[in-house]
Amino acid sequence: MYGLTQMNKILHATLVVLCLLGTLAASAQVKITGKMYDDAGQPIEFATVRIVGTSVGVNTDHLGLYELSVAQRDTIVIEFSCLGYSTVTRKLVKPEGTITLSPKLYEKTHELAEVQITEFKKQTNTMQGIDVSAMNRTPSASGNVVEDVITTMAGVSSKNEMSSQYMVRGGSYDENSVYINGIEVYRPQLISSGQQEGLSVINPDMVGNVSFSTGGFNAEYSDKMSSVLDITYREPQSFEGAFSASLQGGSLMLGQSSSRFSQMHGVRYKRNSSMLGSLDSKGEYDPQYLDYQTHLVLKASSKLKLSFLGNLSFNNYRFTPVNRETSFGTSTLAKSFTVYFDGHEKDKFQTVFGSLSAQYKPSRGTEFTLQASGYQTNELVAYDIHGEYWLDEAGTGGDNGVGGELGVGKYHEHARNRLKLNVYDVTLKGNTGINHHNLGYGLTLRREDIYDRSVEWQWRDSAGYSLPHIAHEVNVIYNMTSSHDLNTTRFAAWLQDTYKVASSAGMWSVNGGVRVSHWDFNKETIISPRFSIGFVPERNRHFAVRLAGGLYYQAPFYKEYRMERTDSAGNAYIDLNRDIKSQRSVHMIVGGDYTFRTMNRPFKLTAEVYYKNLLDLIPYEVDNLKVVYSGKNESKGYIAGVDMKLFGQFVEGTDSWISFSLMKMQEELNGVNVPRPTDQRYSVALFFTDYFPNIPRLKFSLKGVLSDGLPTTSPHSSRDVAYFRQPAYKRADVGLSYMLVGPEHRPTDGFLRHFKSIWLGVDVFNIFDISNVSSYYWVTDVNNIQYAVPNYLTRRQVNARVQLTF
């Protein structure tokens, strides 16, 4: 009896243990997390993640993040879907613990009754994404392909094919901010021509995502009045590489990745002597441009990610001129300008940049980022150029057209300009998702150390008399001295909220924020409220409308508050204006998109109307790429315009676009209404790609620009006295690329099997051989009459290139 009792107790205990084990087994969960991206690498919000065969599912948040849990079993099938994208499924076999899945969804294309339908991603804010997949195969005279593509966008223009700088909706070159991985980067300050510039800070081989705004951008971006270019570098998924070589230089990129660590290294070299040789000024061009960049990422844990971005850049430009011959004017008033030179120019632009970031995600909807960065530029512009010139007028034909000599003289130009600039930046920022809201916030502390030592003078001799002519004296026509050591600190804070919700009327996206900045140099505090509203109606999802605006400031940087003072002897000195204020611009932008099909292909038409009310302006004049500011807030004005862009597949399978812009810009300067130096009244740009019939491996690219000439005036003068417009800028570059190896043409054996792609290409820059004007050289005779001799840009050039990825 006792044995049966004991046996019953043992059986009962065994059953309890088995039940507990079964319950534990049944309650074992698999946690699945990750992030969903589109084909451009941008996060997809409101996408659906569900477990097939169950009711378990969630939507991604504003960052594309998701998280769900499901009971453990032998096989779990997860489905990722979103309107406008192809559906992706993943199968997990005997999963356990926490699993991360971050799929990439591609825009959906499907066929119904032989009609192909492609759905476009809707743009509900002012930041537009730009596809970078085929950028490196487009013709680029400067080698800076990202900026070259930007200049074909509506509202954007560039007047120098050798430069990466651009103007946006009437703003100067200095009104555009550029970010790489969330860090604001800078350009050299003493650049005055495209010959000096070399390579831009953006390495196209390392670029993953490109977002660009021509106005109405959010409060998280810095105090600039015109545009934002936001670049994100890629994180390689495995070992990869890219190599390119051309007649202008070459580049090499290597990337590697493991489960926790990834790295990318890029080296670029440029030497465009042949292109510079097509300029009117002949001589020995010796440009050397070298750039190295690295991007390191360490995933310390599931919540903490560390990254480092580094850049070393050495741009050296040397030029020993020999002679110059320039013909200009009209057929009836033709003139020629001949110069014989002696001397040389040696310029150096050395840049060091480093940034360390720590990204921490304490929860699914919250993310904090701490960034520390340092930027140093060491710039030297040194030249001593002596020249003897002849300015002649050709005969016009007939009895009275005999032509003759207009001027003869000598000149000497001297400069020793050195600038050292250190910028140290510490930023703490974060994002928190609460239901349909995404709160963004941040603090930035910036230290600027500036060392400036500049000396310039110009001597002119006309017909044996030095200018200005004073008997028994030899004088220079201009001289300038600047000597400053400056240390300043800036502080900025911002707060913004993005609210996105789907209603019966459609999809709404609302962003509102404010940015507050203080600068100890002028004791100025500025407050910049900004907003944007986007709406996609449910009844007709082919439309998307946007409204954006705010009060934007242009926080003065070093060039903008340098003020020239002239003493009684005519000597010019540079003072720093401590009463300078930030320029102000009240923006208002209304725009929208319409998607449609024609020729059985998808298209998108975008249009935006904008108005900017400008106050506390700092007048400036533009000479080539050099922006010379007055250093004082002494004008006001406005900008109004319309931008339109037709984007689509004019040829099936390739993206192309044409953009058109109209703009009116006016400034009240010294009581006179004049156009600003960047008043470009019209612009048309074309980016077109095509494949040859029956030769799908052969690709054709065309990039063309036609834009109005800019107002200009003589040196050390201003537009309220006199101005005229340069001729219109007209240029077309074409390229042919042949795919030797590609996804569908990859050998299975032999040496070429190691390459993902091989492209061979030929480019023709400025195919119509048009002489565009970058600036003017001013000749003054003894009667103080000035003649504007055009400085022409590059002529037709042929380039050969090879590009490999592996």
Determine the average pLDDT of the residues in 291-315: 94
Cβ-proximal residues to 779 (8 Å cutoff; 6+ apart), any chain: 337, 389, 391, 407, 409, 786, 787, 789
Which residues, 6 or more positions from 707, have their beta carbon under 8 angstroms from its beta carbon? 157, 159, 680, 682, 683, 684, 685, 728, 729
Q: Flag whether pLDDT at 3 surpasses 50.
A: no
Cα distance between residue 428 and residue 413, in whole Å: 47
Return the DSSP state at 107.
Answer: B
In percent, how much of the chain has pLDDT > 90? 52
Looking at residues 496-514, what average pLDDT do you find?
90
What predicted TM-score, i.e. pTM, was given to this entire model? 0.84
Strand runs (DSSP E) across 234-303, as ranges? 240-246, 249-257, 261-270, 281-299
Position 93 confidence tier, pLDDT thresholds 50, 70, 90? confident
What distances in angstroms separate CA 788 from CA 403, 406, 626, 775, one per listed residue? Answer: 18, 13, 17, 9
The mean pLDDT of 742-752, rounded to a whole number, is 78
Distance CA 12, CA 6 (A): 10
Confidence of residue 24 (pLDDT cuts 50, 70, 90): very low
- Return the higher-pLDDT residue of 482 and 7: 482
* 303-317, 334-348, 389-403, 691-705, range with the lowest pLDDT: 389-403
* Residue 529 main-chain phi, psi, to 5 deg: -80, 140
Least confidently predicted of 264-268, 357-361, 365-369, 389-393: 389-393
Q: Which helix H or strand E contains 672, and what residues bound it? A: strand 672-674
Write phi, then psi, for 411 (nearest 5 degrees): -155, 160
Separation between Cα atoms, residue 688 and residue 658, nearest integer Å? 8
pLDDT at 23: 45
Long-range own/partner contacts, residues 609-612 (CB < 8 A, 24 or more apart): 609/641, 609/642, 610/169, 610/215, 610/639, 610/640, 610/641, 610/642, 610/643, 611/587, 611/638, 611/639, 611/640, 612/169, 612/170, 612/215, 612/225, 612/585, 612/586, 612/587, 612/588, 612/638, 612/639, 612/640
* pLDDT of the residue at 728: 94
Choice between 188 and 747, residue whose per-residue pLDDT is larger: 188
pLDDT of 785: 74
What is the pLDDT averaged over residues 555-569? 90
Computed on alpha carbons and rounded to an integer, the radius of gyration of the chain in Å comes to 31
What residue has token string 């009244």?
681
What's the pLDDT score for residue 66? 86
Give the CA angle between residues 366, 368, 374 to the nearest 5°.
160
pLDDT at position 463, please? 63
φ, ψ (nearest 5 deg) of residue 220: -70, -20
E strands, 259-400, in order: 261-270, 281-299, 304-329, 334-363, 366-393
